[in-house]
């Protein structure tokens, strides 16, 4: 599994048609293209390095939002699978308990009828 910290970004600084300094950062993450944009307000001093950091963080936010949705869906899927397996195990445990109880009750009854001809001895009782 790749780490978000290992992502490489393509940076595209330019001045748009209205004269606003803009930085667009793009990257691919598991086949999908993500984009982050930073624009310099006309009253601010243009700082390309800060604009790149801002655009990267906006791009990362989109990736992490997508990843959180994906991971949450996988967790829900695992919970559902676990619940089904747990319920199935409980069903079989209950059946095992009932059959073992019936077995020991039957053996006890048979041993009471003919104690001199003990049918089953050293039964493991759970």
Q: Give the strand order in the sheet containing 10-15.
A: 10-15, 21-29, 32-39
Q: What is the pLDDT along the chain (126 residues), one digit of tens a residue?
A: 668 778 889 999 998 888 889 999 999 988 999 999 999 988 888 899 999 999 999 999 999 999 999 999 999 999 999 999 999 999 999 999 999 999 999 888 888 887 666 555 555 444
Which domains does the chain possess? 4-81 (3.30.160)
Q: Rounded to two decimals, what is the model's pTM?
A: 0.67
d(CA 61, CA 37): 12
Contacts of 72-75 with CB under 8 Å at 24 or more apart are none
């Amino acid at each position: 599994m790749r780490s978000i910290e290992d992502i490489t970004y393509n940076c595209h600084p330019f001045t748009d048609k209205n004269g606003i300094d803009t930085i667009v950062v793009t990257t691919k993450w598991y086949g999908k293209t993500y984009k982050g944009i930073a624009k310099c307000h006309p009253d601010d001093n243009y700082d390309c390095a800060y604009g790149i950091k801002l655009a990267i963080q906006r791009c990362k936010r989109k990736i992490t939002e997508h990843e959180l949705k994906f991971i949450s869906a996988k967790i829900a899927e695992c919970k559902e699978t676990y619940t089904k397996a747990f319920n199935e195990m409980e069903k079989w445990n209950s059946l095992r308990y009932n059959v073992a109880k019936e077995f020991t009750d039957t053996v006890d009854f048979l041993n009471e009828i003919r104690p001199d001809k003990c049918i089953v001895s050293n039964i493991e009782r759970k």
